[in-house]
Amino acid sequence: MKLVQVETFVTVRWEAERDSKGEADTFEATLCLRHRKELAEWIPSIQGCYKHGESCDYCEGRGPRKI
């Protein structure tokens, strides 16, 4: 029996830097493992939000969604 590795796409959220009013925007994206690792290096506050998706927003050329 041959095992096939399946890519898992997980939805994550993070907050952008606070603006002059002290407010921060929250973003959400569904990402592959490679893009989750890349974002985690730049955004330590990134967290999973217990959702799965069908494809990676970044691999497909889509950006994060502002929520």
Residue 1 lies in a domain: no
Q: What is the pLDDT of residues 1-46, one digit of tens each?
A: 777 777 789 999 999 877 777 788 899 999 999 999 999 999 988 9
Higher pLDDT, 20 or 62: 62
Residue 55 lies in a domain: yes
Residue 37 lies in a domain: yes
Residue 52 lies in a domain: yes
What pLDDT is attached to residue 56? 96
Question: Against a cut of 0.85, is the pTM above it?
Answer: no
- The total of structural domains in the chain comes to 1
CA–CA dist 25, 15 (Å, integer):
6
Helical ranges in the chain per DSSP H: 33-42
Residue 40 lies in a domain: yes
- Residue 44 belongs to domain spanning: 26-66
Residue 47 lies in a domain: yes
Residue 17 DSSP class = P
